[in-house]
Amino acid sequence: MDLRTRLARLDGLNRRPVAPGKPEDPVRTRIMPSAAELGMESLDPGARIHRRQTAYPWPPPTLVTADLVGLFPALPAEPLPASALLFLDTETTGLAGGPGTLAFLVGLAWWDGDRFVVEQILMSDPDGERSLLERVASAADGKEAVVTFNGASFDLPLLRTRGVMNRIRGMLTPLAGLDLVVPSRRLWSRTLPDCRQQTLETRICGLERGPGDIDGRDIPAAWFAFLHGEDLRGMAAILEHNRRDMCGMARLWEQLGLWAARIDGRKDAGPDALLEQWSCSWSLARVAWLRGRRDGVRSWLNVALDQLTGSAGDPDADLGRFLRDGVRLAKGLRDWPLLSRVLTVGLEILPGTPWLHREAAILHEHRLRDLDTALQHALQCGEQGRVGRLERRMGRRGQEPRPGGGS
């Protein structure tokens, strides 16, 4: 008897006998009708993974990835249309990640012609994980980039780790990663209370989630209850939550194109209430710099300064960061009149700020050649060395009183 035969015999001895007519896995038999009640079809003979696919009449946006320069830290070398994107979101057994966390539901979405297709793959048995991952990999075929929300730090590493553990090589690795968290923070973190996806959907996209959703922290418990046949409503809420996440990401993608057009000054982008806030204009100036739009930097920085004028005494801690940013951007442009305006507005709002006076002294001494004004600012910031040098250059040492006495 060879080794293979002996091992097979031992394996048979270790198996528990199944009574005639009794299903081998009673949990799985409960899941099959439950998944059907959720409008899902089984994708494997063991009914371990299930699919629900919905298509919406929704023409794709005309923007390509190259239109979003400066919003993402890196973009694919070739401009990609919306049809080349795969949107992805996972629902998992925990938020810690690592080898003990499973993605039991993966939402996938893409544009197919004038339709937006949302496909949800549900795992009702951990033994079906490999089949779920293979379906995700299959959906990625023909796509060039995967769009996620916080997926760079969670969804994609998790799926790739699970792929390795299931001996699936290169799980999603050929696709460029486009995480919507990064552009969202660059555009709106200074204006909105937070950059959570639901906040962005409401404030940027004008979407309201409404009833039928579930809080993210309750999702793992709802799935485990579903596995034990205890609660179908919780699983239905998870599916709805995931579907809304997929559609919300697509709406955010459209908005990124709209805001990129606003940064570039295109009139067809239309107005937005957030544009009335100086913090938003500041963010657009920063992104314009990353996009290489020098005129956009000037324009949005001036808009922010206009919006700040008259706000003296505002205690907002972001003002100091904005002014330092404005100084940096104006210097990068070598636009000395703009730098002078940043410093003037800054001193109107935060009078007596030493570093603003120091920057003004440097500007007037070395760029604007106004030694008298440079001396006034040097006196205000208390730089005695600069004061002495300016006085010598002006040939009038001792004529200007110094703060705290002396001549």
Q: Which pLDDT score is estimated for 46?
A: 81
| 285/281 Cα distance (integer angstroms) | 6
Mean pLDDT per segment of 10 residues, for the chain of length 407 residues? Answer: 59 50 45 74 88 98 97 96 98 79 97 98 94 96 97 95 93 96 98 97 93 89 89 92 98 98 89 93 98 98 91 67 98 98 95 97 96 96 93 71 42
Beta bridge partners of 289: none
Domains in the chain and their CATH numbers?
22-263 (3.30.420.10), 276-394 (1.25.40.10)
Q: Which pLDDT score is estimated for 98?
A: 65
Instruction: For residue 72, report the phi and psi dihedrals to the nearest 5 degrees.
Output: -105, 150
What length is written for the chain? 407
Q: Which pLDDT score is estimated for 97?
A: 64
Q: Exposed/middle/buried for 40, CB within 10 Å: 0-12, 13-18, 19+?
A: buried
N-terminal to C-terminal alpha carbon distance within the chain: 109
Q: Which pLDDT score is estimated for 28?
A: 44
Cβ 273 vs Cβ 154: under 8 Å: no
Beta bridge partners of 69: 72
Q: Decide: pTM greater than 0.95.
A: no
| 134/166 Cα distance (integer angstroms) | 10
Beta bridge partners of 91: 105
Helix axis angle for 232-263 and 181-188, nearest 10°, is 50
Q: Which pLDDT score is estimated for 344?
A: 97
